[in-house]
Structure 1
Amino acid sequence: MRNSLPDRRAERGWSQAELAERLGVSRQTIISIEKGRFDPSLPLAFRLADEFGVAIEDLFDPER
């Protein structure tokens, strides 16, 4: 499974900037997470999952 964050964000019609604002992080943080260059902290991963109403495992591959 790949990082599904970009797909889920697009399904909601949110820009990277909008998601970043909702989470209180920078747009660059969202870009880096989506490109797989940055693994979010556990608290941020939980906030992301909560924002989309899914489990962390549904957003990120735990085997990566």
Structure 2
Amino acid sequence: MQNKIEQLRKDKGLTQADLAKACNVTRQTVNAIENNKYDPTLQLAFSLSKILNTEVDKLFTPD
């Protein structure tokens, strides 16, 4: 699964650390998600979409 999290995060002027803190996860978790090494839980996906002001289905695309 591919994602648009890095681009959306940068568009909002957030660092990985900023996004991680807002989602209550580590920066390493955000990095792993952005690099497609980790698929977030549904709860985390909803948190990411809320912070990035988008819908969950717009964050991720199938390979």
TM-score normalised by the chain length of structure 1: 0.89
Gaps of 5+ in 1: none
Q: Is 1:5 the equivalent of 2:5?
A: yes
Instruction: Kindly indicate whether structure 1 or structure 2 has the higher relative contact order, using CA contacts under 8 Å at least 6 residues apart.
Output: 2
Secondary structure in 1 matching 2:50: helix
* RMSD (CA atoms): 1.0
Aligned residue-pair number: 62
Structure 1 runs of 4+ aligned residues shifted over 3 Å read none
TM-fit CA distance, 1:40:
0.1
Q: Deviation digits for residues 10-59 of structure 1, max 9, x if unmatched?
A: 01111101110111100000000000000000000011111112111111
TM-fit CA distance, 1:60:
0.7
**Contact 2:4-2:59 at 8 Å conserved across structures:** yes
Bigger fraction of residues in strand: 2
